[in-house]
Amino acid sequence: MSLKPSKPDSTSHSLPRDNHARGNRLSESTVSPNSVTDPFSSPLTKNDDKKSGSLITVLIAVGANVLIAIAKTFGAFTTGSASMIAEAAHSWADAGNGTLLLVAEKKSVKPADKSHPLGYGKESYVWSMIAAFGVFMAGSIVSIYTGITEWNAAETETNYTIGFIILAVAFVLEGFSLMQAYLQSKKQGEVLNISAVGYVIDTSNPTLRGVFFEDLAAVIGLVIAAAAMGMHAYTGAPFWDALGSIIVGILLGAVAIFLISRNRDFLVGYKVSERMHCYVLGKLIDHPDIDSVSYLHLEWVGPKKIFMVAAVDFAGNPEEETLAHKLEAIENQFRASDLFQEAILTLSVPNAEILRLPDNENS
């Protein structure tokens, strides 16, 4: 029952389809020193390749953003467009954000130790928040400031051909990166029977969320910049170009505020979804040695890493020594799953109210 550091695993795991938790009993025979059968994993959560999908996604995003940022910077100097300057700032912000997300990925998988018995999973939220606050807000401020200063600029001849070509190429690259993030989110969301966007919003993986919304904002920003530059070229009024820069800046600020808010949620302690709660409760109730569960606390302590505390009552009246071994054995069964960073069980107090699964979970 003691708090023991769990062996970390960088592979992301998702909730399997088995929502009823029936027929998949945890038993002591599932645990051995050299081979562990993970009752919480599904075909989508197997560690077939060590590089997580989110890491591949962010690597693609960083590479695309660096190339795009260089091209947009060239376009900004060539055309003098305020919207293009905003887009260049946007892409450099995205590249910096991706770099920080890579740091988050690396830091969050450090092994648990005496000073951090629940691991370093929350490092990912810290670095993701720094990325959102520092990089996105920097891009937002630059974009809005550029738009304001160019609002009353003198009317000049415009030749945005190079700018439009750069925006078109950027749209293709950003679209490819967004599609990669979307497909990964859709794949994981199907396991939970939710949409790709719903998964990205609720996932405990800040890297995937950061890349997805970064790329979504980039694609929308490109459309805004192209429209603003087009209106400037058509009407000759420079305020259209300035307006585009301001709108891109507002878009970046909105994304930053959203990501800061979500990372804050997980840093201060974010409970798992009701579906996940019912799933784990079902696993406990279905255990052959457990008679009932009176308390269950499940909290995210990192990407795809749960900290569990539960109070249970055992069938029969085992002796104290036997009881201690049973508690330790069940804890180790949960620790063996990649989904759990730590699991602690204690005994229910007499006459404690028993937790039950909703009717639809028992059907």
Alpha carbons 24 and 316: distance in angstroms, whole number: 22
pLDDT tens digits for the chain (363 residues)?
444 433 333 333 333 333 333 333 333 333 333 333 333 433 334 434 434 566 777 777 778 788 888 988 888 888 888 888 888 888 888 888 778 878 877 777 777 778 787 878 888 899 888 888 877 777 888 889 888 888 876 666 567 888 899 999 889 988 888 898 899 889 888 877 888 888 899 888 888 898 899 889 889 999 998 999 898 888 888 888 889 989 989 998 999 999 999 999 999 888 888 888 998 999 999 998 898 999 999 999 888 889 999 999 987 777 778 888 889 999 999 998 888 989 999 999 888 899 988 876 554
Tokens of 296: 């269950």
Helix (H) or strand (E) holding 90: helix 82-108
Return the pLDDT at 17: 35
Query: Which amino acid is residue 231, in one-letter code?
Result: M
Give the pLDDT confidence score for residue 149 in this predicted structure: 86
Under DSSP, is residue 346 helix (H, G, I), strand (E, B) or coil? strand
Distance (Å, rounded) from C-alpha 245 to C-alpha 146?
Answer: 7
140-163 burial, b for 16+ CB within 10 Å, e for fewer? bebbbbbbeebeeeeeeebebeeb
Per-residue pLDDT at 35: 32
Question: Do 302 and 6 form a contact (C-beta atoms < 8 A)?
Answer: no
The SS3 assignment for 276 reads helix
Burial category of 19 from C-beta neighbours within 10 Å (exposed 0-12, middle 13-18, buried 19 and up): middle
Helix%, strand%, coil% for the chain, nearest 5? 60, 10, 30
What pLDDT does residue 38 have?
Answer: 35
260-294: burial string, b at 16+ Cβ within 10 Å, e else: bebbeebeeebebeeebbbbbbbbbbbbebbebbb
| Tokens describing residue 167 | 């925006």
pLDDT of residue 40: 40
Model pLDDT, residue 156: 63
Residue 154: predicted pLDDT: 65
